[in-house]
Amino acid sequence: MLRNPLRLAEERILAEQLRFIMEGLRIAFWPVVMAILLMLSILIDAHNAHILVPWGVAGTVANLNTGRLARAFLRAPPTSQGAHRAVYSLMFALTLEGLAWGALAWIALDGINPGGSFVVLAVIAAMAGGAVSVQAAIPAVYIALGLPMGVLVLARLWYLGGDVHNGLTWLVLLFAVLVVGQALRFSRTVLKSIELRFENEALLGQLRESTTQADESRQLAETSNVAKSKFLAAASHDLRQPVHALGLFLDVLSRTELSAVQRELVTNASAAGRASAEMLEVLLDFSRIEAGVVEPHVQPFAVQPLLNRIEREFAGQADAKGLEYRSRESDLVLASDPALVEFILRNLVSNAIRYTAQGGLLVTCRLRDGQAMLAVHDTGIGIEASQQRAVFREFHQLGNPERDRTKGLGLGLAIVDGLVRALGPPHGLGLVSRPGRGSVFSVTLPISEAPPPASPKPALDDNPPRLRARVMVVDDDDAVRRGMVELLRDWGCDCQAAGSLDEALALARTWVPEAVVCDYRLREHITGVEVIAALRAQLMCPLPALLISGDTAPQRLREAVGSGLPLLHKPVSPGLLYRELVTVLMSDPASSTP
**pLDDT tens-digit series, residues 539-554:** 999 999 999 877 656 6
Q: Note the pLDDT of residue 554.
A: 62
Task: Give the tens place of pLDDT for each residue, 61-71.
Answer: 888 888 888 88
Q: Note the pLDDT of residue 346.
A: 86
Q: How confident is the model at residue 278 (pLDDT cuts 50, 70, 90)?
A: low
CA 421 to chain centre: 12
Per-residue pLDDT, averaged over 192-202, amounts to 82
Q: Note the pLDDT of residue 14.
A: 80
The β-bridge relationship of strands 371-378 and 438-445 is: antiparallel
Per-residue pLDDT, averaged over 454-483, amounts to 73
Q: How confident is the model at residue 512 (pLDDT cuts 50, 70, 90)?
A: very high
Task: Let me know: does 371 contact 445? Beta carbons within 8 Å.
Answer: yes
Instruction: Tell me: pLDDT of 458 over 50.
Output: no
Q: What residues contact 130, with CB distance under 8 A and at least 6 apart?
A: 28
Q: Name the residue among 349, 355, 347, 342 with its Cα closest to residue 415.
A: 347
Q: Note the pLDDT of residue 342.
A: 86
Q: Note the pLDDT of residue 589.
A: 39
Instruction: Tell me: pLDDT of 79 over 80.
Output: no
Q: Note the pLDDT of residue 1.
A: 41
Q: Note the pLDDT of residue 548.
A: 87
Question: Which of the residue ranges 53-62, 108-117, 332-341, 464-473 would you say has the lowest mean pLDDT?
Answer: 108-117
Q: Note the pLDDT of residue 133.
A: 81
Task: Let me know: does 275 contact 408? Beta carbons within 8 Å.
Answer: no
Instruction: Tell me: pLDDT of 399 over 90.
Output: no
Q: How far apart are alpha carbons 182 and 176 in whole angstroms?
A: 10
Q: Note the pLDDT of residue 225.
A: 52
HSE-up (13 A, CA, CB side) for residue 230: 5
Q: What is the DSSP letter of 156?
A: H
Task: Let me know: does 305 contact 330? Beta carbons within 8 Å.
Answer: no
Q: Note the pLDDT of residue 374.
A: 95
Q: Note the pLDDT of residue 294.
A: 59
Q: Note the pLDDT of residue 211.
A: 67
Cis omega (within 30 of 0) on the bond before 426?
Answer: yes
Q: Which of 12-16, 40-44, 51-55, 364-368 has the highest mean pLDDT?
A: 364-368
Q: How confident is the model at residue 594 (pLDDT cuts 50, 70, 90)?
A: very low
Q: Note the pLDDT of residue 506.
A: 94
Label residues 268-285 b or e (16+ Cβ within 10 Å = b): ebbeebeebbebbebbbb
Q: How far apart are alpha carbons 280 and 282 in whole angstroms?
A: 5
Task: Give the tens place of pLDDT for each residue, 121-157.
Answer: 888 888 888 888 888 888 888 888 889 988 998 888 8
Q: Note the pLDDT of residue 233.
A: 54
Instruction: Tell me: pLDDT of 104 over 50.
Output: yes
The residue with greater pLDDT, 427 or 594, is 427
Instruction: Tell me: pLDDT of 339 over 70.
Output: yes
In 426-544, the DSSP E strands lie at: 428-434, 438-445, 470-474, 494-498, 515-519
Task: Give the tens place of pLDDT for each residue, 28-60.
Answer: 888 888 888 888 888 887 777 888 889 888 888
CB neighbours of residue 169 within 10 Å: 18
Instruction: Tell me: pLDDT of 196 over 80.
Output: yes
Q: How confident is the model at residue 6 (pLDDT cuts 50, 70, 90)?
A: low
Per-residue pLDDT, averaged over 357-383, amounts to 93
| Cα-Cα end-to-end distance for the chain | 107
Task: Let me know: does 15 contact 73? Beta carbons within 8 Å.
Answer: no
Q: How far apart are alpha carbons 24 and 135 in whole angstroms?
A: 8
Q: Note the pLDDT of residue 179.
A: 85
Task: Give the tens place of pLDDT for each residue, 521-543.
Answer: 888 889 999 999 999 999 999 99
The residue with greater pLDDT, 183 or 253, is 183
Q: How far apart are alpha carbons 451 and 302 in whole angstroms?
A: 8
Per-residue pLDDT, averaged over 477-503, amounts to 89
Q: Note the pLDDT of residue 555.
A: 67
Q: What is the rounded radius of gyration, in angstroms, for the C-alpha atoms of the chain? A: 38
Helical spans, DSSP H, in 255-294: 260-291
Q: Note the pLDDT of residue 89.
A: 86
Task: Let me know: does 354 contact 346? Beta carbons within 8 Å.
Answer: no
Return the percentage of the chain with pLDDT > 90, whole number. Answer: 20
Long-range interactions of 449-453: CB distance < 8 A, separation 24+: 449/335, 450/300, 450/333, 450/335, 451/300, 451/333, 452/300, 452/301, 452/302, 452/333, 453/299, 453/300, 453/301
Question: Which of the residue ranges 28-42, 379-393, 469-483, 545-559 would you say has the lowest mean pLDDT?
Answer: 545-559
Q: Note the pLDDT of residue 535.
A: 94
Instruction: Tell me: pLDDT of 337 over 90.
Output: no
Q: Note the pLDDT of residue 242.
A: 64
Q: Note the pLDDT of residue 183.
A: 84
